[in-house]
A and B are shown apart, each in its own frame.
Chain A
Amino acid sequence: MASYALRDVSLVIPDGQFIGLIGHTGSGKSTLVQHLNGLLAPTEGSVYFNGEDIHEKGYDKKKLRSKVGLVFQYPEHQLFETDVFSDVCFGPRNLGLTQKETQLRAFEALRQVGFPEEYFYQSPFDLSGGQKRRAAIAGVLAMRPEVLILDEPTAGLDPKGRDEILERIAALKRDTGITVVLVSHSMEDIAEYVDRIIVMNRGSVLFDDVPSVVFTHVKELEEVGLAAPQVSYIMQALHESGMPVRTGATTLEEAEREILRALGR
C-alpha cells in the first residue's frame, strides 16, 4: 500500500490572516508549508497563489519564493556570510535589486525583527541563539514577502526569547498586514496571536477553525498528541462540574471574564 505524507488537504489562505498550523511531530506540517512556496510539488492536486497554478509551465518560482517567504526550522543554520548585514542582503540581492534597494530592505528587515544595531556588522556566528534566529528571520523578511511562513520559529529558545520573537511577529502582522502562517506544536505559543488554527494529524487536516472553537475539542486534541491551552482545561472542568461557563475561552483574560459572568458579577 502506498503511504502518503499528505492526503486530502484543502485550504484557502486569505490575505492578511494570521494562521496557526499545529500538529504533532510527523503530522505533515513541515511538508505542507514546503508545498506553499513550491519547494515540494504535490503528486496529485495543485497549489494556487493569487489565482495562478504555481506548477504551471513557465510560472516564475523564484518570484513566488520572494512573495511567499519561508523561514525554516532552526533558520540560524543557514547563515553563511561574514557579517549579519550581508547575510540579510542575500535574499533581496538574489531578486536582482539595486545595491541601494537591497541595503534599504535589509536595514528595514533587521529593524522589524528588533535586531540591535550595534551587532549589524558582527559575524553571525558570534551571536546568541535568539539574535541568530532574528537575523535569519530578517533574511527572509528582507525580500518583502506577502506571506510569511515560519516553521517552529521558537524551537530551542528560552521563554523570554520565545515571547520576544512571537511579539515581533505579531507586531509585524499589525503594522504591515502581512499574511502569517505560524507552524508550531505548542498551542500555548500561538493561542493568543492567531485568527485561525489548522490542526494537522497524520497528513490530513483534523480541525480548521477559530481558536475558541478548536480548543473546545480538548479530548480529540489529546488523542492526537496535542494539548489545549491550560485555560481550556480549567473551563472544561468548570463546565463539567456544573458551572454555566462557555468553554471557548483561549486566554487568561477571556477566561476571567467568562467565570465572572457565570458567577453573575
Chain B
Amino acid sequence: MLRDITLGQYYQTESVVHKLDPRVKLVGTLLYIISLFLVNNLTGYLAAALFLGCMIFLSKVPFRYMVRGMKAIVFLLLLTVLFNLFLTPGEALVQVWKLTITKQGVRIAVFMAIRLTFLIIGSSLMTLTTTPNNLTDGLEKLMGPLKRCKVPVHEISMMMSIALRFIPILMEETDKIMKAQIARGADFESGNLIKKAKAMVPLLVPLFISAFRRANDLAMAMEARCYQGGEGRTKMKPLQYKRRDYLAYVVFLCYLLILLALRNLRMLP
C-alpha cells in the first residue's frame, strides 16, 4: 500500500540524460513546464510530445515507469477535465439537463489534460534519471545566489536530502511495526473511520518515536564528523558543467524557440 509512492524514485541505468548535470535537468524541466503553458495550438503540443518522446528514448527508462507516476493524479486529471468541460462559457455543443458542454470547454479540457499529463511525465523523467542526492546538490547550486538575501540555502538542501533518505527507512519501519501490532491482534482494516483512526495510534506512536530516535542518532553521527553547516564546506564531487551540458542548454533553447515560432505561426493568416 505504501509502496506505490514513486516520489524520488530513481531508475538506475547508463544514458546521456542520466549523465547530464542536475542543474541542466532542473532548469530544463522548469522550462519545459513553462513551455507547456505557452503552447496554444495542437501543432505546438505535437512538438512538445515529440520532444518529450525523444528525451524518454534517450533516457532509456522504460515507459511504464513514467505511467506509474500518472496513477497518482488520475483523479485530479479527471476532476480538471470535468470542470473545464462543463463550466466554460461559450458556444454550446451538447446540453444535458443544466450542464452544457461548450466548444471552448472541450478545447480547454483537452489542452488541460495534455498539459497535466506532459507535466507529470516530464517531471518524473527528471526524478527517474537523477539521484536524490544529485537533485539536492543541483538545487543548492541553483539557489546559491539567494544566500545573499539570507536564505539558508545549504540547510534547506540538506534537509531535503535527509528527508528523501528517510522515506524508504520509515516505510520499512512502518511495515515492521504494523506486522508486530497485527501479531498482537491489532486490526488496521475493519471498522468505521473513527475506529480506524484509533487503530493507528499503536502504529504512529512507535513510528514517531523511532523517527525521533533516528534523527537524534543522525545528528549525533553528523556532529561526530564535525558537520557545521554550509559555511566553508566543499564538495567531494563539485558540480561542473561539461560540453554535453552546454549542448543540452542549446537543445532546450532551440526547443523553446521552435515552440514560440509555432505559437506565432497560428497568428499568421
Residues of A within 8 A of B (CB): 34, 37, 39, 62, 65-66, 69-70, 72, 75, 77-80, 90-91, 94-95, 125, 139-140, 143
Contact = CB atoms under 8 A, between A and B. Distances in A.
A140 B210 contact: no
B178 to A, nearest CB: 10
Contacts of B210: 77
A69 B183 contact: yes
Q: State the majority secondary structure of interface residues on A.
A: helix
Nearest to B203: A80
Interface string B204-238: 01100110000000000000000000000000000
Given A77-B210, A79-B206, A80-B206, A94 B179 contact: no
Contacts of A65: 182-185
Given A77-B177, A77-B206, A77-B210, A39 B183 contact: yes
A258 B203 CA distance: 52
Contacts of A70: 183
Contact of A140 (B184, B187, B209): B184
Nearest to B202: A80
A143 B182 CA distance: 13
B96 interface: no
Given A80-B201, A80-B206, A125-B209, A95 B180 contact: no
Contacts of A94: 184-187
> Which of B179, B180, B183 is packed against the most chain A CB atoms within 10 Å?
B183
Given A62-B187, A65-B183, A80-B205, 19 more contacts: A34-B179, A39-B179, A39-B182, A62-B185, A65-B185, A72-B176, A72-B180, A72-B183, A75-B180, A77-B177, A78-B177, A78-B180, A78-B206, A80-B201, A80-B202, A90-B184, A90-B202, A94-B184, A140-B184
> Which of A37, A75, A80, A143 is packed against the most chain B CB atoms within 10 Å?
A80
Nearest to B181: A78
11 contacts: A65-B185, A69-B183, A70-B183, A72-B183, A78-B184, A80-B205, A90-B184, A91-B184, A94-B184, A139-B184, A143-B185
A76 B205 CA distance: 12
Contacts of B185: 62, 65-66, 90-91, 94-95, 143
Contacts, number: 53
A-B pairs, 9 with minimum CB distance: A94-B185, A80-B205, A78-B180, A91-B184, A70-B183, A72-B180, A80-B202, A80-B206, A39-B179
B205 to A, nearest CB: 4
A152 to B, nearest CB: 13
A37 B205 contact: no
Contacts of B180: 72, 75, 77-78
A34 B178 CA distance: 13
A140 B183 contact: yes
A78 B184 CA distance: 10
A207 B186 CA distance: 35
Contacts of B186: 90, 94
Nearest to A61: B182
> Which of A77, A78, A94 is packed against the most chain B CB atoms within 10 Å?
A78
B16 to A, nearest CB: 31
Nearest to B201: A80
Nearest to B209: A125
A79 B209 CA distance: 10
A91 B180 CA distance: 11
Contacts of A139: 184
Contacts of A34: 179
Nearest to A96: B185
Contacts of B206: 77-80
A66 B205 CA distance: 23
Nearest to B186: A94
> Which of A66, A75, A77, A139 is packed against the most chain B CB atoms within 10 Å?
A77
A211 B257 CA distance: 78
A121 to B, nearest CB: 18
Nearest to A149: B183
Nearest to B183: A70
